[in-house]
Amino acid sequence: MVKLKKWDTVEHLQTGEDIALYLEACIEEAGDDAAFIAKALGNIARAQGMSQLAKDTGLGRESLYKALSGEGNPSFATILKVTHALGLDFKVTTRRHEEIASA
């Protein structure tokens, strides 16, 4: 008999590179779904330690769980605080003109 275990993304976010690649893939996949990205940040936060993140951001642990659950609606200020505390940076690149025109 084969025993299956429920997949938990957090178990696979071991290194900074894992985290960066995961978040990049989530952003590409999310399209306009901000909740998807918030949930991805929540997974990264759980991998890094939500209690420490709460201390580093000055936000309540329970508030962070809610905001980053995919069900919450965090402000952009919260997202910036979280990404900064997690050691993540946003980088902006331009899409080619043809891609912008077809969007």
pLDDT tens sequence across 35-47: 999 999 999 999 9
- The total of structural domains in the chain comes to 1
Tell me, what's the pLDDT at 48?
Answer: 92
Give me 26's structure tokens: 């989530």
Question: Model-level pTM?
Answer: 0.82
In a domain, 74, yes or no: yes
Q: In terms of Cα–Cα distance, which of 59, 5, 16, 10 is closest to 39?
A: 10
User: How is residue 39 annotated by DSSP?
Assistant: H
List, for residues 18-33, the tens digit of each pLDDT value: 999 999 999 999 988 9
Range of the domain at 75: 14-102
Question: From CA 20, how far away is CA 65, in angstroms rounded?
Answer: 20
End-to-end CA gap in the chain: 49
CATH classification at residue 87: 1.10.260
Classify residue 19 as exposed, middle or buried by CB count within 10 Å of its CB (0-12, 13-18, 19+). buried
Question: From CA 103, how far away is CA 81, in angstroms rounded?
Answer: 30
In a domain, 1, yes or no: no
